[in-house]
Amino acid sequence: MKKIVLIRHGQSEYNLKNLFTGWYDCPLSENGFKEAKKAGKLLKEAGFLFDAAYTSVLKRAIDTLNVILNELGQDWVPVEKTWRLNEKHYGALQGLNKKQTAEKYGEEKVLLWRRGFDVRPAPLDKDDDRSPYRDRRYDDIPRQYLPLTESLKDAVERCLPYWQEVIFPSLKNKNQILVAAHGNSLRGIIKYLKNISDKDIASFNLPTAVPYVFEFDEDLNCVKDYFLGDPEEIKELMRQVAEQGKAS
């Protein structure tokens, strides 16, 4: 049985402060490192032996992956980093407090910005200090591909070709792959794998640093998917993610 494990990065400093993050490159919080280590232990106990790993170019995902591989004793596993696995770009919302934004604009509007499939927040100006145009890690990316804001639909259209053309085909000659990325980039992949509708994906909340395992047969048909960990604890973590955009 072939397996791909999807894992959202551990809690970041912006998660801790309940701020919109997007492409802002904030580090993991102290708890985020603990979460990543716990994920590594769960994967080790389950006997995972990875052949390859993929992550974004954002520090919180890279550090999560490194902690997990270290915990597994598999630091040697080849890692490929790509901007296509970055989080959804939250535009001008980046750095704003989610609760305060909900108080100002209403919970319904914030829910659309956070979870609406085809709703984009207001864009950054290309000369804004937060703009990817001003970040050297994206110097080799044609400007027309770099977002100043994104909907989930945009993020899916950015991430999915990389999944279809690079990650998933590599499973043909590998047995186990680890993908450490972000809530929305991974939700896009999960939407595709599970055929979740544009409407229903809004209510799917991915907790930080909980391994989500997809199993495939030798013909690469998905036969099973499940989270590693205590089901009740995971349910509570999902609830907490859903609550982040509420005013009270």
Q: Annotated active-site positions, please?
A: 9, 87
List the one residue out of 44, 10, 30 whose CA is nearest residue 237: 10
Q: 140, 172 in Cβ contact below 8 A? A: no
Length of the chain: 248
Going by their DSSP bridges, the two strands 176-181 and 212-216 should be labelled as unpaired
Q: What are all long-range contacts of 163-169, with beta carbons under 8 Å and residues at least 24 apart?
A: 163/189, 163/192, 166/54, 166/80, 166/82, 167/4, 167/54, 168/4, 168/220
Q: Please tell me whether residue 78 adopts helix, strand or coil conformation.
A: coil
Residue 101 dihedral angles phi and psi, to the nearest 5° = -65, -40
Please, which residues have CB within 8 angstroms of residue 38's CB and are 6 or more apart in sequence? 209
Q: How far is residue 189's CA from residue 181's CA, in Å, rounded to a whole number?
A: 11
- Residue 34 is encoded by which pair of tokens? 């603990």
Number of other CB atoms surrounding residue 47 within 10 Å: 7
